[in-house]
Amino acid sequence: MASEQQVLFKNLSDKLYEKRKIAAIEVERSVKDMWQNRDIAKIKQTIEYLSQEFAFSVFPNSRNGGLIGLAAVAIAMGEVIY
């Protein structure tokens, strides 16, 4: 995993909502770029990572970050679904 992705995912689990929100915006931008490049496997990998490492975490801030990250993916993919 690239260093900037590590920082991004670290910020998703930050205790401050603003840092999690900024990280989620970056996730959304990233997923949109992945879609433009037709990198479906990487989008699936991102969704699985957010689900496994964040959404099902025992730590509340990580869970919140995972949920906001998954919401960002859904927003980015909203155009695709329709």
pLDDT in tens, 43-70: 999 999 999 999 889 999 999 999 999 9
pTM of the entire predicted model = 0.85
- 28 vs 81, higher pLDDT: 28
DSSP alpha helices (H): ranges in the chain? 3-12, 17-36, 40-49, 60-81
32-44 confidence digits (pLDDT tens): 999 999 999 999 9
